[in-house]
Structure 1
Amino acid sequence: MTLKTTLIKNAKIVNEGKIFNGDILIEGEYIKQISESISAKSADVHVFDAEGKYLLPGVIDDQVHFREPGLTHKANIETESKAAIAGGITSFIEMPNTNPQTTTIEKLEEKFEIAAKTSSANYSFMFGGTNDNLDEILKVNPKSVAGLKLFLGSSTGNMLVDDPKVLEKIFKSTDMVISVHCEDEGTIKKNLQDHIDKYGDDIPIKYHPVIRSEEACYISSSNAIELAKKTGARLHVFHLSTGKETNLFTNDKPLKDKKITAEVCIHHLWFTDKDYDEKGTYIKWNPAVKTQTDRDQLWEALLDDRIDVIATDHAPHTIEEKENVYTKAPSGGPLVQHALPAMLEMHHKNKISIEKIVEKMCHNPAILFQIEKRGFIKEGYFADLVLVDLHHPWTVKKDNILYKCGWSPFEGATFKSRITHTFINGSLAYKNFKFYNVNAAKQLTFNR
């Protein structure tokens, strides 16, 4: 079999803190050569002119909810992975709170089978912990599974892990990354009941960050970190939403040596509580979007490396579900198509460099989860690549939203940058709102 060979010429390559003009030779699924100038050696080489666009490693989103199986009226792996590659996300790690939940090896394997047939992006899944599935956790293969996900608050089904003895056993039993959702359930329940007593079910949305408060986040995060320090576990705290929590994390060593890490999501970097008036329950997330001060402090911690990763927490619901009264409207929203354009918009506003975006969205997820041969533009690595035109404005509208749910919290926003091409394992899978059915996606593997 002849390997397909592609030569990308005239790109501004962004990798490991540098931007340089160069060419990339792709042979089959891998990057064969990176150089200032490469010539096509034969007529069989497909030469592709990047025309000076920025070439980034494919984004790795370590936190998505693609809703399959069981919740496919909202989304599925096929639709959301397509939206992801249109947004420059070439690999995703999906969460276990589907229906049924991914808390047994059998259910995990079923999800891998679905993704192998339908995913446009490279994929892995988190395995879910509960109060009573430690035996299943011990069977998980760390080379083929991204890690463990624990809900220490705000879970669906029986996934709230609230037994301290079980929690300590899980923390002691695995070397894999334990990713946690931290909000203290007791604090939230009390706050919610206080607001229901006052307003009934139709609580004004502006009280969402009061109900799911800074205190609820901080209590839970600090407890998880204390337990990780006690047990030596490898802990990753998902979606920080408060400035106070950022003080729990350090920047005194490189990411590869950290035992306790953190991430922030696009919505907590973009919106504040002032946006509830206009956006309503469309920006109802758990943890809640909070104050301008919180957002400023999250940015500060991101840029000084106390926060290691930017993710989406992509979690679609239908418009009908989101338009319910407060207590019935689910939390979460779709984000994978618009995450990278939103961060590039922040670059245009001089908030963050492109090199830093690549570090937090591409390099660091790969380092943190020990993903094999992805997240960087390096010879011998998989050719997961994204071409970006920084000066090609487009407006988010109903007719270009690719999520199955059909809406976006960014609807009406104009982004200056667009993702023009996405390569998955060396194959062009997406170009300017057109998809190529190349079936190039692969299961992620982990160097553990």
Structure 2
Amino acid sequence: MEKVLIKDAHIVNEGTIVRGDVYIEHGIILEISQNLSVKGPDVHVFDAEGKHLLPGVIDDQVHFREPGLTHKATIGSESRAAVAGGITSFIEMPNTVPQATTIEKLEDKFSRAAETSHANYSFMFGGTNDNLSEIKKVDKTKVAGLKLFLGSSTGNMLVDDEEVLREIFKSTDLVISVHCEDEETIKNNLEIYKERYGDDIPINMHPIIRSEEACYLSSSKAIALAKETGARLHVFHLSTAKEMELFDNKIPLKDKKITAEVCIHHLWFSDEDYEDKQTLIKWNPAVKKKTDRAALWEALLDDRLDVIATDHAPHTLEEKQNVYTKAPSGGPLVQHALPAMLEKYHEGKISLEKIVEKMCHNPAILFDVEKRGYIKPGYYADLVLVDLNNPWTVTTDNILYKCKWSPFEGNTFKSRISHTFVNGQLAYKNFKVYDEKHGKRLTFNR
């Protein structure tokens, strides 16, 4: 579709909701106005009366499992689910098999995404205790950023040498995104409960094992190091009330050197849900108390927390149903993240404008994403049409993840994503993802 006209939408963008039309040519937004009239047999017109038009969501933290773990997911399968959920761009993590800890392995992932991704894509480069020379080769205009695991990880991706960590912080201009949990604290806690229960530890012990202390100890150290070295730090998936004291809301996001993120599951679930959901909501960091969830919401709304992401990390249902010590952490979320946040809008918890700010605008600002995250002339036409009053229920039949399960299964959402456009092309319509792939490699204004 070279020419697209979206008519009579409620456009949610930059803190306002205005009724209007959007005209797109060759994947770029050309004009936004009221009563636009563009005629011709090659103009595809979409009637958006009664619907809201949002910028496509930019999810800055996903695990699409390719290469090496493709029995769980692939870039193709999970990007299909992403566009069905209104996510038009994603940034994927480096802990695949093999890990993206060399330029060669990183570019292999880009090549695969170019062939199979329905959404726009970038990948983070992985830091380790011994790959500083490779980190220094990364082109910051072509790669989203650097990911460091300061808590439990796979293989050689745990960065636990403090001198190496300091050197990395001093040596790169990349945005450094971190998973913060103190490994020693977690190991000690786990041993206590393994002695008591063996491998079949009750799941409600998970937030005690991966405790508030473990999170705070690690995140506070990372922030102190960033302040000492001047590094640009982004702290992933925060989960505790205590950590909220580490972040500032008095500085505009574009000027912040230290930024913060919260994930859908930490905003939705609490430790009271373990009894029902069991290991299906086992994540690292753990879902914690209702008071932690309340503090995360408060910090999100007052701008100490800058971004909402998913940390989409699928495993097979068989894997998740193992006993505690053998059940992997993580779950699939990209298809249901935006509907879940829209449910919170219906509950009066957050405005549509704030959802767009945290899921679309702010990831674009934080990672310097070029011409995405907004509905503006000259920007790529990554757009999502939402019907706020068209309920649907999450069932096995409409779950698009390769793993075919969701922690939201059985939930009825009031809002439905009706259309998703990626680079001006219709990628999704009413539970159908089109086969043609329109995703492009993200670029960065740095």
TM range (shorter): over 0.9
Distance 2:199 2:46 in 1: 56
1:252-276 alpha-carbon deviations (Å, 9 max, x no partner): 1110000000000000000000000
Give 2:7's aligned amino acid.
K
The Cα RMSD (Å) is 0.7
* TM, length-normalised to structure 1: 0.99
Distance 2:50 2:377 in 1: 21
Residue 143 of structure 1 is matched in structure 2 by: 141
Shift in Å, 1:437: 2.6
- 1:227 is the counterpart of 2:209: no
Which runs of 5 or more residues in structure 1 are unaligned? Answer: none
Query: Which ranges of 4 or more aligned residues in structure 1 deviate by more than 4 Å?
Result: none
Give 2:130's aligned amino acid.
D
Give the one of 8, 31, 34 matched to 1:33. Answer: 31
Give 2:265's aligned amino acid.
H
8 Å CA contact 1:391–1:417 kept in 2: the answer is: yes
Matches within 5 A, 1:24-423: 24-423=22-421
1:226-261 alpha-carbon deviations (Å, 9 max, x no partner): 000000000000000001001100001110000000
Distance 2:50 2:173 in 1: 43
What SS does the corresponding residue of 2:11 show, helix, strand or coil?
Answer: strand
Distance 1:51 1:437 in 2: 27
Distance 2:405 2:112 in 1: 25
Distance 2:8 2:377 in 1: 17
8 Å CA contact 1:427–1:438 kept in 2: the answer is: no
Distance 2:154 2:79 in 1: 23
Which runs of 5 or more residues in structure 2 are unaligned? Answer: none
What SS does the corresponding residue of 1:430 show, helix, strand or coil?
Answer: strand
Shift in Å, 1:37: 1.8
Distance 1:181 1:439 in 2: 31
Shift in Å, 1:440: 1.3
Give 2:131's aligned amino acid.
N
- Aligned-residue identity in percent: 76
8 Å CA contact 1:40–1:47 kept in 2: the answer is: no
Distance 1:154 1:303 in 2: 30
Distance 1:226 1:348 in 2: 39
8 Å CA contact 1:243–1:295 kept in 2: the answer is: yes
What SS does the corresponding residue of 2:404 show, helix, strand or coil?
Answer: coil
What SS does the corresponding residue of 1:148 show, helix, strand or coil?
Answer: strand
Shift in Å, 1:51: 1.8
What SS does the corresponding residue of 2:439 show, helix, strand or coil?
Answer: coil
What SS does the corresponding residue of 1:282 show, helix, strand or coil?
Answer: helix
1:147-182 alpha-carbon deviations (Å, 9 max, x no partner): 000000011111000001100110011111000000
What SS does the corresponding residue of 1:19 show, helix, strand or coil?
Answer: strand
Shift in Å, 1:29: 1.0
Deviates most, 94-103 or 37-46: 37-46
Shift in Å, 1:42: 2.8
